[in-house]
Structure 1
Amino acid sequence: MLRDRERSIDTLRGLAVFTMVGANMAGSVVAQPHPLGLRLYGSFAAPLFILLSGMMVAYTAQTKEHRWKYFLLRGAMIMMMGVFVDVVIWKGVCPFVDVDVLYLIGLSVPLAFLYLRLGKSYQWIVIVLIFLLTPFLQKILGYTEYVNPIYLWGEQIKEVPVKTQTSIFNHWIIDGWFPIFPWLGFSLLGVKFAHRRRKDQTFNPFGKKSIFLLGLGILIIGIMIWWLYPGSLLIRGEAIELFYPPTIGYIITAIGLILMLFYIVNRMPSLFIYNPLRYLGESSLFMYVLHIPLIEYVISPTWSGQSVQKFILIYIGFLFFLILIAYGLRVLKSTWRDRPFIIRFLIGG
């Protein structure tokens, strides 16, 4: 049986997948203009997903004593999945240009391990600096309205005319889909979350009411700042999340919400209603890669321009399908114990 801490992490990761699917579907399926509530709904999957990736680096480094080479290899493999998405699924998009979330996570995995070597006070300084420097870098370097891909071959189907197209360097630093500033900060914050956990599985620091109250306080402050300084709230093609560009208010709001989610899930991590989320979370990389072509080449061409009500029905049906796939992978993993490393990487351990 999985330990509670593993259950809670898988559940939270599954929640990120759950909301990410909705966000990635809505831009192409729902008729414009997209309701603000729908845009808000999918805006917190990315920080949760990235934070959990950093948390797992620290957790596995402490419990399994993996070295830097292991995390360097794992980060490179995640980046190669990003290359697969660009070149194969997106049909000839040049990799390492627009900074998909897999590139950011692939980069952050070995960096998070090195980050563990810093003193605790320096660790907090790095996180705060990454977040605080973000709006200044956006202003100094510029923030493009849309990250146009470069195609190695084929039709330029994802190209959007913009006034100012910035460089690839700019995409990695500040204005790609998931640039280093501020998104690396969430990964490193995940390392700090891991420090809150102890090897004794009976101790559950995130199930304390103080965590919920702390998260609520941070959430309220974040919402107030975000309301006063919302930023451009750009819609980038079919990406309708509210973090283009990510603002300080958004970052603080996301941190507060994540803390509250940690509390809620960790209070009773074995609840049966979490099972579908946990199944998704146990194979999160596979689910991420799988959902992209299904949305792009099946769902969007079939059901574009729908009402919100019809979108919800399509969304529920698609989630049901993904959960069935995830459950099937779970059964496969329970019967196929001696899976090769690459298979464990693709479908989860």
Structure 2
Amino acid sequence: MQTNTKRILAIDFARGLSVVLMILVHTMLVYGDSATRHESALGQVVNILGQGAPMFLVSMGLSFVFSRKQSFKGSLKRGLLILLAGYSMNFLKFIVPTLFFGGLPVPFVEAYGMTYGEPSNMVFFFLLGDILQLAGLTLILMAFIVRFSKSKYVPLVLALFIVLVSSELRGYRPGIVGVDYICDLLWGATYQVYFPVFPWSAFILIGLFFGLWFREKGSDQGFLFKSMLVVGIGLLVAGVLLSFYDFDYHFGDYYHLGPGGSLGLMGLNLIVLWAVNLLTSSVKPNHAFGFLYYCSRNVTSLYITQWVLINWGMSVFGFWEHQELDVLLLMLLFLVLSLGVVYIKSNYGVLFRLQKSARRVSEST
């Protein structure tokens, strides 16, 4: 079993798998027709696999404990940079196609309840809240938590508080321009913000709790994942019972979960992380695992790249137009393209130096 506290293979595996699954899910959501998304076997499988975002969030909270930039200033800087990356991604995803690729598809704009051609559409899309906005804001929150408290129970209590009050706060806006948008980022009820801080930051905070507990126990990975299993089962049972009692209140919809849905999904992903650790501890290193570890190391670049490429691709492949086989091929295409762009980007300096050295050798002969 991996013993280096800076590298927990199960976390790398989960994070890498999460971003790969996101590429497949996003491709289907953008390109699959209604039958493919809601009725086909592919749609059912991908919708289930699409619940991988919480696993990524829990992994993020765990990884925070072992970050080399865990200082208060370093964490604040990381949070702000991720926020900047989120809005830069929105610019590339939405504004660039609008200005240079003939505009976003009409059905895509209308799916958000807007009229095609309105200048305000660009403002809406630029401000759209995604997982990077959530990650940036929560990193800033965690910077303050770690700065002012060493207790592992602070993020745990805060996570449970956020889960319990999310439904009560959801949709509240005071009617003040600018402040309303901040409220949407925190507990919005519309699809301008897909991952509001309430309740989604709770998934990151529960990861922070386990990370702090893991460090407190001398980096005992066996203890960490057994604890995840026990706590995960408890949260899953509580979440299922609450959702069964009042589904509309306790689950709502996937992006705007109530208390029961949040607890259940949190518990399920803790159990999955336990299972992933069992897998990475039992199976010898192989190319498939190595591929996922590579994706984990490049998770932010991959996330941004795949969304930009998928959105740009609408100018070629349309929106909500393709059946199962076409969607499968598009999944493969965008997975390969995303990996290729990230590889070139991360190795550009090396490739440039090799090219320069080769030129010098050719000129000297």
Q: TM-score range by the shorter chain?
A: 0.7 to 0.9
State the distance in 1 between where 2:350 and 2:3 align.
12
Verify the 8 A CA contact 1:19 1:41 in the aligned structure 2.
no
One of 202, 205, 209 as aligned partner of 2:223? 205
Q: Give the equivalent residue in structure 2 for 1:264.
A: 275
Counting only pairs closer than 5 Å after superposition, residues 1-349 of structure 1 correspond to structure 2 as: 3=4, 5-33=7-35, 34-35=37-38, 37-38=44-45, 40-60=47-67, 64=68, 66-91=70-95, 93-94=122-123, 97-116=127-146, 117-118=148-149, 119-138=151-170, 141=172, 167-175=180-188, 176-198=193-215, 203-208=221-226, 211-212=228-229, 214-227=231-244, 229-231=246-248, 242-269=253-280, 271-272=285-286, 273-298=288-313, 301-302=316-317, 304-323=320-339
The 3 A distance-change label for structure 1 pair 85 and 318 is: closer
Question: Offset at 1:290?
Answer: 0.5
TM-score (norm 2): 0.70
State the distance in 1 between where 2:44 and 2:81 align.
35
Question: Offset at 1:326?
Answer: 5.7
Between stretches 13-22 and 1-10, larger displacement belongs to 1-10
Equivalent pairs counted in the alignment come to 302
Q: 1:25-63, CA deviations, whole angstroms, 9 ceiling, x for partnerless residues?
A: 222211115327357325423322222222222222xxx
Q: Which has the larger radius of gyration?
A: 2
State the SS of the aligned residue for 2:34: coil
Question: Offset at 1:82?
Answer: 1.3
Verify the 8 A CA contact 1:96 1:103 in the aligned structure 2.
no
Instruction: Select the structure that is richer in helix.
Output: 2
The 3 A distance-change label for structure 1 pair 335 and 6 is: farther
Question: Offset at 1:327?
Answer: 6.2
- Unmatched tracts of structure 1, length 5 or more: 143-149, 151-165, 235-241, 337-349
State the 4+ residue runs in structure 1 displaced beyond 6 angstroms. 327-336
State the distance in 2 between where 1:3 and 1:322 align.
30
Percent identity between matched residues is 21
- Unmatched tracts of structure 2, length 5 or more: 97-121, 353-365
Counterpart residue type for residue 330 of structure 2 = I
Q: 1:108-130, CA deviations, whole angstroms, 9 ceiling, x for partnerless residues?
A: 11211221333344433211110
Verify the 8 A CA contact 1:23 1:43 in the aligned structure 2.
yes
Question: Offset at 1:179?
Answer: 1.6
Q: Give the equivalent residue in structure 2 for 1:147.
A: none
Counterpart residue type for residue 55 of structure 2 = L
The 3 A distance-change label for structure 1 pair 102 and 113 is: same
State the distance in 2 between where 1:202 and 1:331 align.
35
Verify the 8 A CA contact 2:85 2:132 in the aligned structure 1.
yes
TM-score (norm 1): 0.73
The 3 A distance-change label for structure 1 pair 65 and 84 is: closer
State the distance in 1 between where 2:199 and 2:340 align.
34
